[in-house]
Structure 1
Amino acid sequence: ASKATGFPIAKVAARLAVGYTLDELENDITGGATPASFEPTIDYVVTKIPRFAFEKFPGAEPHLTTSMKSVGEAMAIGRTFPESFQKALRSLETGLTGLNDVEIPGLGQGDDKNAVRLALSAPAPDRLLKVAQALRHGVGHRQIYDSCKIDPWFINQLQEIVDREAKLAAHGLPETADAFRELKALGFSDARLAELAGCDTQTVARRRRAAGVSPVFKRIDTCAAEFASPTAYMYSTYEAPLERDSLHAECEAAPSQRDKVIILGGGPNRIGQGIEFDYCCCHAAFALSDAGYETIMVNCNPETVSTDYDTSDRLYFEPLTEEDVLEIARIEQSKGTLKGVIVQFGGQTPLKLAAALERENIPILGTSPDAIDLAEDRDRFQALVNDLGLRQPRNGIARSAEEAREIAREIGFPVVIRPSYVLG
């Protein structure tokens, strides 16, 4: 709740416990303009989605019960539910670019009613995706509700997304800025638009920018902009310009003229990538602040210290995807000097963005993207070790289960199997 509202619940609760009253305490996020007794006002939608890891346990049934089975979570913020929801889906880093298609066994084979009932009645990590898939096949809202008991309001919201997907698939990318902005305001990523329109992501990004459609950033201030907030706790959204002759909507980012560094966080916790990377990100922010740099944190994990609004100078609560990170870099480059981006402290998540940042000529501090790839690509690393004449254990590189078994027989047991491009 603290991350969703910006209200420091634990800090206030501790002071109440030692005798303070709410009206005696200042709200830090508004710089003391409001007391803690001022109830937070929210003019945005927050979506939190758990991250599951059933794929790591082949013997486990992906069935949700009253026992906790998630290993982490992602949070997203937007002006509407569809925007917030689709941002949260791509924040999970499970390969989703939005409300992607999934398979419902038996659907379209003559017994749709039972197929939908079987697929939606059992709680599962992908149940919302299956609801959307049922809507794509024309299954009625009442039948879906009877199967899963999800509130009809949410089914209607998913229907709006599905309807826009169908229109886009039929007619291609929009021609006007207003139509493009409408799609983006529903949370469609460039990658998802590319999938639906049958083109590549770069084409969508170029068309969008050519139309003058870019996100604006709003602040989490606990007061719906009633009072000025000095705290830079931000999220992106798409909205129409306030004036018809203006190309830009109101943006509250207000980047500074300082020398600044962006730190990319680790995203949702998962098996192999946990809170240890957040520790690195936080201490990087503290050290850079001591050195006189403005620190900018980008993350989407509400369970972390890095997403506390006072850990860094500026916090962007955004998905760690190429599109979202590049838009943040562009707004920060508009004023001051962006010295670079740190990708090495957030685990594998930010490392995957290094090439895209380099392609856009955004400086990467520390190890270069090519050196990162050299360390992660087993072929390249093995060639380097051989060229340098260094000793190494007997090893081999496998690209299939059969190759792995063959190499293991050659080397002899015990063996260690290690995937490429996986840090944790």
Structure 2
Amino acid sequence: PRWDLSKFSRVSTKIGSSMKSVGEVMAIGRKFEEAFQKALRMVDETVNGFDPYLKEVDDEELKEPTDKRMFVVAAALREGYSVDRLYDLTKIDRWFLQKMKNIVDFNTSLESIDQYNLSHDVLLRAKQIGFSDKQIAAAVKSTELAIRKQRQDYKITPSVKQIDTVAAEWPATTNYLYLTYNACSNDITFDEEHTMVIGSGVYRIGSSVEFDWCAVGCLRELRKLGKKTIMVNYNPETVSTDYDMSDRLYFEEISFEVVMDI
């Protein structure tokens, strides 16, 4: 969910059973870490991922669910809090806390190397647990484009997979596509020209369904002109992400890295 609580002066940031979110995102990956970091970037495009430097550690903040608690958890993990101690404070299941710890620990190890010592295996592992090029660049003190070039030199590119809606009872044929680094083959072929339409992403205060109407109108016009279409969007509550609106629907982040990869 996306909470725009900072737009209101007197609202509590505590999250309970009352409806406060203004939009939602859906992230798909083959590891929890991959999907989790994708989702954090989707909800707020100013965030690089599970960033341990955004918030200060505060035990009181860990006890109450708030819209920014996951970044306090990240900061606590960086400060060396154990999974058990965090479980006692947050009551978040240890399985999830361990996965979050994997991300923070890997980020810390990335910070200890510079870009010239960034090996193929380290870069691949970073991509497999959901690190964006920009996030890796921040850790190794480089730039997004330099990391992108190095990744392409190492031939580390994502695979396109289809969501399996039938629990592997027979081969998936759905139009829901996502990118992952935890695979070695593509589920689709790339032999025709397509026109890409970029969706409006997460609904927020001031930007919602009217922008989705623009995307749908664009897809319909392109279809009338006989063009094959690609939709890139990650909001499950939209018409543009209906499987029959476009020829190829990528449920993916809208960022330079991902759009260029597609």
User: Which residue is equivalent to 1:103?
Assistant: 55
**Secondary structure of 2:165's aligned partner:** coil
**How much has 1:231 moved relative to structure 2?**
3.5
Give deviations 1:364-419, integer Å, cap 9, x for gaps: xxxxxxxxxxxxxxxxxxxxxxxxxxxxxxxxxxxxxxxxxxxxxxxxxxxxxxxx
Letter in 1 for 2:157: S
Give deviations 1:335-355, integer Å, cap 9, x for gaps: xxxxxxxxxxxxxxxxxxxxx
Residues 197 and 230 in structure 2, CA contact (< 8 A), matched pair in contact too: yes
Counterpart of 1:134 (choices 66, 76, 81) is 76
Counterpart of 1:220 (choices 163, 166, 172) is 163
User: Which residue is equivalent to 2:153?
Assistant: 210
Mark the CA change 1:145 to 1:256 in structure 2 (over 3 Å): closer, same or farther: same
Letter in 1 for 2:18: S
**Secondary structure of 2:200's aligned partner:** coil
Gaps of 5+ in 1: 1-49, 108-114, 241-248, 329-424
User: Which residue is equivalent to 1:235?
Assistant: 178
Letter in 1 for 2:14: H
1:88 aligns with 2:44: no
User: Which residue is equivalent to 2:25?
Assistant: 74
Q: Distance in 2 between matches of 1:274 and 1:97?
A: 23
User: Which residue is equivalent to 2:111?
Assistant: 169
Letter in 2 for 1:103: K
**How much has 1:188 moved relative to structure 2?**
0.2
Alignment of 1:24-423 (within 5 A): 50-100=1-51, 101-104=53-56, 107=57, 115-116=58-59, 118-173=60-115, 175-223=118-166, 227-239=170-182, 249-257=184-192, 259-328=193-262
**Secondary structure of 2:147's aligned partner:** helix
TM-score, normalised to structure 2, is 0.94
More deviation, 136-145/261-270: 136-145
**How much has 1:142 moved relative to structure 2?**
1.9
**How much has 1:172 moved relative to structure 2?**
3.0
Give deviations 1:296-334, integer Å, cap 9, x for gaps: 100000111111111111100001111111101xxxxxx
More deviation, 210-219/171-180: 171-180
Residues 55 and 71 in structure 2, CA contact (< 8 A), matched pair in contact too: no
Q: Distance in 1 between matches of 2:225 and 2:172?
A: 25
Gaps of 5+ in 2: none
More deviation, 60-69/80-89: 60-69
**How much has 1:92 moved relative to structure 2?**
1.1
**How much has 1:224 moved relative to structure 2?**
5.4
Letter in 2 for 1:65: G
TM-score, normalised to structure 1, is 0.59
Q: Distance in 2 between matches of 1:262 and 1:152?
A: 41
**How much has 1:177 moved relative to structure 2?**
2.4
**Secondary structure of 1:306's aligned partner:** coil
**Secondary structure of 1:263's aligned partner:** strand
Mark the CA change 1:271 to 1:317 in structure 2 (over 3 Å): closer, same or farther: same
Q: Distance in 2 between matches of 1:165 and 1:60?
A: 34
- Greater RCO between the two (CA within 8 Å, min separation 6)? 2
Residues 232 and 253 in structure 1, CA contact (< 8 A), matched pair in contact too: no
Residues 196 and 229 in structure 2, CA contact (< 8 A), matched pair in contact too: yes
Residues 86 and 99 in structure 1, CA contact (< 8 A), matched pair in contact too: yes
Letter in 1 for 2:61: A
**How much has 1:227 moved relative to structure 2?**
3.3
Q: Distance in 1 between matches of 2:134 and 2:100?
A: 19
Q: Give the number of the structure whose alpha-carbon radius of gyration is greater.
A: 1
**How much has 1:93 moved relative to structure 2?**
2.7
Q: Which 4+ runs in 1 deviate beyond 4 A?
A: none
Q: Distance in 2 between matches of 1:75 and 1:304?
A: 11
Residues 234 and 253 in structure 1, CA contact (< 8 A), matched pair in contact too: no
Letter in 2 for 1:97: N
The CA RMSD over aligned residues, in Å, is 1.6
Q: Distance in 2 between matches of 1:73 and 1:99?
A: 18
**Secondary structure of 1:72's aligned partner:** coil
Letter in 1 for 2:259: V
